[in-house]
Amino acid sequence: MESRRGDSLYDEREGSIYSSGPQVLQRRPSRSSNQNYPQFNWDSDATVEDEDEEGPSEPDRELRNIPLSMAVKRAVRHAQQMQAASRVQRRARYLLRVKHNINEVRYFFTLWRKSLQKIGGNFGGGVQSYFLFLRFLVVLNFISFLLIAGFVLIPSIIFRSEGSSLVNSTGPEECRNYNPSSPGLLVFYSYFLDLLSGTGFMEYWYMFYGFYSNPMAGHNSFAYNIPLAYLFTAVFYFAFCLLCIIARMGSVARVAVATGGSSVGDYSMIVFTSWDYGCLGDGDTKLKQNSVRYWLQVELEEERLKKKTAALNMTRKILLYSVRIFSAVLALGLIIAAFYCIFRATVFSQERSGEGGILGLVIEYLPSIVITTGNFLVPLLCDQIAYVERYSPSTTIIVSLLRAVFLRLVSLGVLLYSLWAQITCAGLTDKCQLCGYNHELYQCWETRVGQEMYKLTLFDLLITITVLVLVEFPRRILVDNWSNKMTQFIGRQVFEVSSNVLGLVYSQTVVWAGALFCPLLPLLNTIKFVILFYCKKITLFYNCRPAQKTFRSVTSTFFFLVVLLFGWALSLVVMIYSVAVIHPSMGCGPFRSFPSMWAVVPTSFYGLPEVAQEFLFFIGSQAFSIPLFALSCVVMCYFIALASVYGKSVSLLKAQLKLEGRDKQFLVKQLAEISRRHQAPVY
């Protein structure tokens, strides 16, 4: 007995007594525990991932050291994995609840949520897509204003009194002469005229380029390079808008791919999956019913027109295409005539810009008046031409958008070309030889361009409110209270989505083109779009009737963004030309001491420490750019191949759905035929 006790080993950590013999290992009951098995920490997280990444964990080593059978160890390990999986599941459920709560809060604070739901239920998804597009532009402009305010406006306000030039101005004295303030007393209505035209007290304020006159601002050891911040903020502003448009296009494209087009299963998908079971109350239910009804109406109208077009013979097809070609030529002639009128009005306005009073205000607004008149009359005539072209509703919207966007964007390009022709002397170097620009007519040409964009934005808003009050409401009152053939022929107006969307694209393009010269233009456009939303909502519910022909909202929304991308590209050309080619004004603005706006970048670059210069040189060298380009090509090829595979899979699934639908139709016909044959006669 003594020898056996002497050979015994007591493991205090495990709380067990093990007897060691030459052949047999026998376990005796522990004096500190009444359990039949060793104690083990069941709360330990022994996962396979930890073992793979960092080797065996402490619980695994502890389990291996315990003398248990392999079956028991497997059971312990399985229990540990189940506990770890349950913790991962609890953590995943917690994160899912957090995400759900965030989505609920974001849904609650979504701008104009109830109004958009009501619009979609009463007038269909096509009209709703316009208001969704308007909301997107409101958010985009407001965030853009925050970007400009954070990097340009607020530093200029803080460091306004402390400024020092980066480079001494070496230009001639005549070129540096710029004094926008009006001396002496002013007539009381002149402030109102200055507010409308952007001159007077408005010209030398934070609204326009000429006010930002401190090249370098700072306090004690801190320095803020306002010219560099001004230029880079404009670049980041354009890049941010591009990213937002692309992200929006991606989300719309995913919806378009998910819903598909012209497949047999579309109607079934609408009937069985379009209802929202979260609708509570009679009002929400009625709105959803109307929305589904408009959706089905769009699909049936598209299918009817496709069948009608496919049934035409060769003679009718030739006649139809001839009519379409003639209509396109006629519409192009109207657009070119509008361009010529805009060019002449701009030249006349710039030559007579010294007039004062009401006549001077009319002359200054003459380009805006001609542009607005052309944008109203030419699309109206093109819409009448489109009636004889016999396109489907969605195609008609796209064709109208193409013509209107060509008119509006190119008219803006004609206006800017006319201004640049006056600023750069149109190739006549006599007036521009001294300063690099026409300093006699434009002492601060950036502010003049900004004033033109300011007037276009403000005039468009005033025209919208005027048409609502003086045209649309009287028309509705006349139609509702005076019944005769003329009022029945006129009827209530229909909300034209194409023309209204082009108005938004045109307004946003004006803001992009003028943001470099008028930094507060995004804020003004945000206020304008908010007012425009409520004006359009009022006229939609009180003055308009639902359209007899609707169109597919997903396709049109994607095309709206494509058109907006064209406007962004035009504005980018304007910014690049202004930054890299035209000489900045020597009497105003943060770039007065530089030969070009872009010259501030190399000047600031050589002021950086040597380490930063070497790093930036390496970023721009071939050793960095070529591998980056190769990697980008590989990633792009991968995503292109992935998209191709997904596209083929979607096409195969659609084809399979069509075949299954046809098989079911065939089986139903066969079943009906068999039932008819075996049906007993009725006497």
Residue range 386-423, pLDDT digits in tens: 777 767 666 777 777 778 778 888 888 888 888 888 78
Would you state the pLDDT for residue 464?
Answer: 85
Average pLDDT over residues 419-443: 74
The pLDDT tens digits for 476-487 are 888 888 877 777
In this predicted structure, what is the pLDDT of residue 1?
Answer: 43
More confident residue, 204 or 598: 598
Residue 526 to residue 175: CA distance in whole angstroms: 36
Provide the pLDDT for residue 140. 92
Amino acid symbol at 60: D
Confidence bin at 45 (pLDDT 50/70/90): very low
> So what's the pLDDT on residue 270?
66
More confident site: 91 or 681: 91
Q: Which tens digit of pLDDT belongs to each residue from 148-203? A: 998 888 888 877 655 444 444 556 777 777 776 655 556 666 777 778 777 777 78
Element (H, E) at 9: strand 8-11
622, 627, 630, 634: CA torsion to nearest 10: -160
* Across 53-67, average pLDDT: 59
The pLDDT, as a whole number, for residue 44 is 47
- Of 594, 567, 569, 565, nearest to 579 (Cα)? 594
Q: Specify the 3-state DSSP secondary structure of 544.
A: strand
In this model, does residue 460 exceed pLDDT 80? Answer: yes
* Pairwise pLDDT comparison (353 vs 525), residue with the higher score: 525
Task: In whole angstroms, give the CA distance from residue 532 to residue 274.
Answer: 31
Say whether pLDDT at 385 is over 70.
yes
What integer pLDDT is reported at residue 650 of this predicted model?
Answer: 78
**Residue 284 pLDDT class (50, 70, 90 cuts):** low
Give the range among 28-32, 57-61, 602-606 with minimum mean pLDDT: 28-32
User: How far are the Cα atoms of 474, 475, 547 from residue 483, in angstroms, in the given order?
Assistant: 14, 12, 21
Q: Specify the pLDDT at position 26.
A: 43
Angle between helices 113-148 and 553-580 (to 10 degrees): 10
The predicted structure's pLDDT at residue 243: 92
Alpha-carbon gap, residue 146 to 149, rounded angstroms: 5
Total Cβ atoms within 10 A of residue 262: 10
Residue with tokens 């003049």: 448
pLDDT tier, 142 (very low <50, low <70, confident <90, very high otherwise)? very high
Of 33-42, 275-284, 374-383, 430-439, which has the strongest mean pLDDT?
A: 374-383
Q: Rounded to whole angstroms, how far apart are CA atoms 157 and 542?
A: 45
Q: Which string of DSSP letters, residue by residue, matches 219-276?
A: ETTEEEEHHHHHHHHHHHHHHHHHHHHHHHHHHHHHHHHHH-SS-TTHHHHHHHH---
Q: What is the pLDDT of residues 350-374, one digit of tens each?
A: 777 666 667 777 777 788 788 888 8
The confidence score (pLDDT) of residue 643 equals 81
Confidence of residue 19 (pLDDT cuts 50, 70, 90): very low
- Find all residues with CB under 8 Å of 208, minimum gap 6, and list them: 198, 202, 446, 447, 450, 451, 454, 517, 518
Give the residue among 513, 274, 298 at the shortest CA–CA distance from 412: 513
Residues with Cβ within 8 Å of residue 531, at least 6 apart in sequence: 461, 465
Higher pLDDT, 283 or 663: 663
Element holding 218 (H helix, E strand): strand 216-219
> Is the predicted pLDDT of residue 317 greater than 70, yes or no?
yes
Above 50 in pLDDT, residue 51?
no
DSSP secondary structure string for all residues of 440-491 = TT-TTHHHHHHHHHHHHHHHHHHHHHHHIIIIIHHHHHHHHH--SHHHHHH-
Contact predicate 182/592, CB 8 Å = no
More confident residue, 42 or 625: 625
DSSP-derived letter for residue 550 is: -
DSSP per-residue string spanning 15-81: TEEEEE-SS-EEEE--SS---SS----TT----HHHHHHHSS-HHHHHHHHS---HHHHHHHHHHHH
Residues 237, 241, 243: CA angle, nearest 5 degrees? 115
| pLDDT at residue 41 greater than cutoff 60 | no
Tokens of 537: 């909502």
pLDDT value of residue 143 = 92
The yes-or-no verdict on residue 526 having pLDDT over 90 is yes
Position 23 confidence tier, pLDDT thresholds 50, 70, 90: very low
* Predicted confidence (pLDDT) at residue 29 exceeds the cutoff of 50: no
Give the closest residue to 376 by CA, choosing from 466, 454, 450.
466
Reduce the DSSP state of residue 161 to 3 states and report it: coil
Distance from C-alpha of 516 to C-alpha of 524, rounded to nearest angstrom: 14
Distance, CA of 417 to CA of 427 (rounded, Å): 13
**Separation CA 394–CA 309 (nearest Å):** 15
Question: Going by C-beta distance under 8 Å and a sequence separation of 6 or more, which residues neighbour residue 15?
Answer: 30, 32, 33, 38, 39
The number of C-alpha atoms within 13 Å of 372 and in the hemisphere containing its C-beta is 18
Most confidently modeled of 292-301, 394-403, 498-507?
498-507
Q: What mean pLDDT value characterizes the chain?
A: 75
279-304 average pLDDT score: 68
Query: pLDDT: is 12 or 201 the higher one?
Result: 201
Q: Which of 113-117, 162-166, 217-221 has the lowest mean pLDDT?
A: 162-166
- Residue 228 clears pLDDT 80, i.e. is over it: yes
- pLDDT (0 to 100) of residue 168: 43
pLDDT score of 527 more than 90: yes
Residues 6+ apart with CB under 8 A from 335: 378, 403, 406, 407, 410
Asked if residue 394 lies in contact with residue 555, where contact means CB atoms within 8 angstroms, the answer is yes
Q: Which two tokens stand for residue 405?
A: 């966007």
pLDDT for residue 49 is more than 50: no
Q: Give the tens place of pLDDT for each residue, 612-658.
A: 888 888 887 888 888 888 999 999 999 888 888 887 887 888 788 77
The residue type at 504? L
Q: What percent of the chain has pLDDT over 70?
A: 73
Structure confidence at residue 36 (pLDDT): 47
What is the average per-residue pLDDT within 292-310?
A: 72
pLDDT band at 4 (very low <50, low <70, confident <90, very high): very low
Q: How far is CA 391 from CA 162, 297, 661, in A?
A: 63, 17, 29
pLDDT for 334 beyond 60: yes
> Which pLDDT score is estimated for 377?
83
Strand order across the 16-20 sheet: 8-11, 16-20, 25-28
Weakest mean pLDDT among 136-145, 285-294, 597-606? 285-294
In this predicted model, which residue has the larger pLDDT, 504 or 111?
504
255 vs 590, residue with greater confidence: 590
Instruction: State the pLDDT at residue 48.
Output: 41
pLDDT at 588 exceeding the cut of 80: yes
CA distance 601 to 389: 53
Strands (E) in 335-433, as ranges, are none
CA angle 641, 645, 651 (to 5 degrees): 140
